[in-house]
A and B are shown apart, each in its own frame.
Chain A
């Protein structure tokens, strides 16, 4: 174990990865500063519960300060520039912070301008990717729709929580059914199956068919949304009419300048070693979670496991991130988990009520597990080990 006491760590980002990393390193006696442009932390998956169940946003919102070990110095400000060679970051107001170790966990930047109609439809109907407030707007939309077609539009697949479009579809369909409304929910999806992996797609498709009010189109490449005509237009000219629409925005890397600039890819994602998570070319700087170019899903699990990997590496251990995902796809009362890693495609899954209960337990554990990551680690660790793709194998779960 290295002597880390008094060494300076800077963490950029107040999402789950940033908070876990900050708390772990602070417990080692490091001098930790966390820089985030948002004083609030949202439990992002709950945007679905706000959007389709009307849950209050406050239930899933905390001040970043209350989730941090009091020893962590919190600076609520945008990180503007990182100079990797000189181990320095600059904030928007010009404050300079030197570090011995850097962890960038700045998340993905949502882009509503890459597709005509995306920004307008978000303003009109809300979305469940950006903020709890925008998710609350979806709830207004859903509540107000008495008859017709509710479209969930997916223009791109490099998105946070890849099963979230399907979750929205299931939860919306359940709501309209329960209310006895004649509303069809249609999912527009760019890949050739209704989930990116073919076997899992069969399971999802079967489940969708049992609803009776869900339809979908695959290989549907969205070109634009005509807000006046309430129509989605595909790149080959196909048109889909809607009465209300919720679209998934494009995802890009964070809006932070890096020196050298070539550590970012064409979409601004930060280039990392996919196992060690260090920023390419640097052994004292790391990036975790949605802001990286690691070839895995953009999901909280990657941020969580990434934070632990980086903490161990800073402590001198040869820890590696396997690319493990564990993305829950829920209906009102059932769930499956999309479990994969760099070496294994998602394993077969069966919808079950037990898995849905596990998701509810995770929601209850979420905030304490950020504040006390070491205390919760044995629970997560046991779960991850028991459900490794290698362990579940062909039989699935």
Chain B
């Protein structure tokens, strides 16, 4: 079982939550779980697209009543 990391990118519109995610991803290894919190609506399509093109796994993606988007990814694509 890998490590679990939390990336809090709430309130970040520019350069956006992906900027914070890529920093956490760099440190991660296969099997690690990264949980990202964001409020930027663009993050929903962006995280889907990023996970698909980088070949990682999106375990959860949802939004709560207050608008906070929560995505959980499993790192699987590191060589």
Interface residues of A (CB under 8 A from B): 114, 155-158, 162, 190-193, 196-198, 218-219, 221, 223, 235-237, 267, 274, 295-297, 323, 325, 338, 340-346
Contact = CB atoms under 8 A, between A and B. Distances in A.
Nearest to A274: B11
B63 interface: no
A218 B22 CA distance: 12
A157 B50 contact: no
B13 A344 contact: yes
17 contacts: A114-B26, A156-B22, A156-B23, A162-B15, A191-B16, A191-B18, A196-B14, A197-B42, A198-B45, A218-B53, A219-B53, A221-B25, A223-B79, A235-B54, A235-B78, A236-B78, A343-B13
A37 to B, nearest CB: 26
Given A340-B13, A345-B14, A191 B50 contact: yes
A197 to B, nearest CB: 6
Contact of A158 (B20, B25, B54): B20
Nearest to A115: B26
Nearest to B50: A192
Interface string B35-71: 0000011100110011001110000000000000000
Interface of B: 9, 11-16, 18-20, 22-23, 25-26, 40-42, 45-46, 49-50, 53-55, 77-79
A114 B14 CA distance: 23
A236 B15 contact: no
Given A221-B54, A236-B54, A198 B46 contact: yes
Given A219-B50, A236-B77, A342 B19 contact: no
A296 B20 contact: no
B75 to A, nearest CB: 10
A339 to B, nearest CB: 9
Given A218-B53, A236-B77, A237-B79, 18 more contacts: A114-B26, A155-B26, A158-B23, A162-B15, A191-B18, A193-B49, A197-B14, A198-B46, A219-B54, A223-B79, A235-B25, A235-B54, A236-B55, A267-B23, A295-B11, A296-B14, A340-B13, A346-B14
B26 A156 contact: yes
A236 B79 contact: yes
Contact of A192 (B23, B49, B55): B49
Nearest to A217: B53
Contacts of B19: 156-158, 191, 196
B3 to A, nearest CB: 15
A296 B40 CA distance: 13
Nearest to A325: B14
A266 to B, nearest CB: 9
Nearest to A389: B13
Q: Which of B14, B20, B55, B78 has the most CB of A within 10 A?
A: B14
A342 B13 contact: yes
